[in-house]
Structure 1
Amino acid sequence: MVVAEDLHRSFGTGERAVHALRGVSFEIRRGELTALKGRSGSGKTTLLNLVGGLDSPTRGSVTLDGTDLAGLDEKGLLAMRCDRIGFVFQSFGLIPVLTAAENVGVPMRMRKVAAARREERVRTLLALVGLADHAEQRPGELSGGQQQRVAVARALANDPALIIADEPTGQLDSETGRSIMRLLRAVVRSEGVTVLVATHDPALMELADRVVELRDGRVVEPAE
């Protein structure tokens, strides 16, 4: 599903250059939940940005579902992110003035999905994440865990092949964090989607199919 080969990413030039990634290679199988672990500054977010097509490597390549991201122009990358990748962020990233249902529907509006089909998909996804009764509530009326569930539903809106989650439990208490990881685990099984999640919580890693560890921009402990 995802193949990263010899990824390097540097910021700046000369002696002041920061080498965020130093030759990272790994694969993610289709329908698998992979946890990416590492301390702050290890390169996790940089790697997620490269896999998600939000940034380009200094050297190396990322292939997503058979497509080399380096071969896509900005329009192609935008289409890839819209159609094939869903994103879940630590800060939830919901639009405050929109209801839960409206937030979930945003990606489908961008693709101009017909209203009837969009509303049906929103209902299905909110039920999937356990929020069928909260469709008309706005983010400020929801708990942190509920907001993140809305974010997961939104990430699934366009039926992506891959979901990328950057510390999705970072602002949640431990039990709520576990519930979000269990939800991602369930999504992998029910939707057949592939998930790459960055986390530093060992308890959450136990729910993953595989763990890839980054240290100082290098893979040091990929686990089957």
Structure 2
Amino acid sequence: MSSTAPEHAAPAAGSAAPVVAVEDVHRSFGSGRTAVHALRGVSFTARRGELTALKGRSGSGKTTLLNLVGGLDRPDSGRILLDGLDLSGLGEDELLGLRRDRIGFVFQSFGLIPVLTAAENVGIPLRLRRIPARRREERVRELLALVGLDDHAAQRPGELSGGQQQRVAIARALANEPALIIADEPTGQLDSATGQSVMQLLRAVVRSEGVTALVATHDPQLMELADRVVELGDGRILPG
């Protein structure tokens, strides 16, 4: 599917304005003849409650794009807006706060802390925000139940399957009720059946929690579960 045209207005209450707006974004690494042009004028939007899959071969620009939208990197030119907020106008401390409070990350390698239980891993973002213990424990229970792991709260990552670990990672990403979830190949280390189960969970979570998700994936079966598919090639969005 092709991308939609970028929209510039900040979202009003009850409006259908996009949660994410990427506007003519360019990003290169290096300089001169050896420069790598990772993104070349990328524009697209993602709306609330929508799961957008990013597809493309390795080197197409998917991870670079996710890093820019997640505030982990800055574009050379163009704009990225999250809920109408222009990320280019934020300092490093403000970007850190944005990632902590408004964005949830899900990694291919799960990113769980081995010595902590599933419940403790999910609760990390809430501790960073100094949420009171009672409310934190309630939210952790809610999230583990949401991802089907309420009976595994006391187990550590090494005692869980790969699929269960990724479910914990999804619960952790939801802890602070983010506007956006960014997932880079979240099923890359899972077998096809487990990967599809995790993607179905992510699809259900997007709908039930009303969040937006950007998911980079190579798997055609997983793309079928997305609301939209944006294909990248040589740093550009390809027509769909």
**Common fold: TM-score over 0.5:** yes
Secondary structure at 1:49 match in 2: helix
Find the aligned partners of 1:172 and 1:203 in 2 and give their Cα distance. Answer: 14
Q: How many residues align?
A: 222
Q: 1:173 aligns with which of 188, 191, 198?
A: 191
Amino acid at match of 1:102: E
Corresponding residue number in structure 1 for 2:137: 119
The CA deviation string for residues 105-131 of structure 1, in whole angstroms up to 9 with x for no partner, is 000101010010000000000000000
State how 1:58-207 maps to structure 2 within 5 Å.
58-207=76-225
Identity of aligned residues (%): 79
State how 1:203-218 maps to structure 2 within 5 Å.
203-218=221-236
Secondary structure at 1:213 match in 2: strand
Secondary structure at 1:15 match in 2: helix
Amino acid at match of 2:28: S
Q: 2:73 aligns with which of 39, 47, 55?
A: 55
1:6 and 2:60 aligned: no
Q: CA deviation at 1:221?
A: 3.1
TM-score, normalised with respect to structure 2: 0.92
Q: CA RMSD in A?
A: 0.6
8 Å CA contact 1:214, 1:221 repeated in 2: no
Secondary structure at 1:127 match in 2: helix
Corresponding residue number in structure 2 for 1:26: 44
4+ residue segments displaced more than 2 Å = none
Amino acid at match of 1:104: V
Secondary structure at 1:106 match in 2: helix
The CA deviation string for residues 110-156 of structure 1, in whole angstroms up to 9 with x for no partner, is 10100100000000000000000000000000000000000000000
Secondary structure at 2:48 match in 1: coil
The CA deviation string for residues 179-199 of structure 1, in whole angstroms up to 9 with x for no partner, is 111001110111001111000
Amino acid at match of 2:53: A
Q: CA deviation at 1:3?
A: 0.4
Find the aligned partners of 1:29 and 1:111 in 2 and give their Cα distance. Answer: 26
Q: CA deviation at 1:49?
A: 0.2
Find the aligned partners of 2:56 and 2:223 in 1 and give their Cα distance. Answer: 12
Secondary structure at 2:75 match in 1: coil
Amino acid at match of 2:230: V
8 Å CA contact 1:107, 1:157 repeated in 2: yes
Secondary structure at 1:92 match in 2: coil
Secondary structure at 1:61 match in 2: strand
8 Å CA contact 1:61, 1:69 repeated in 2: yes
Find the aligned partners of 2:34 and 2:25 in 1 and give their Cα distance. Answer: 20
Amino acid at match of 1:160: P
8 Å CA contact 1:213, 1:219 repeated in 2: yes
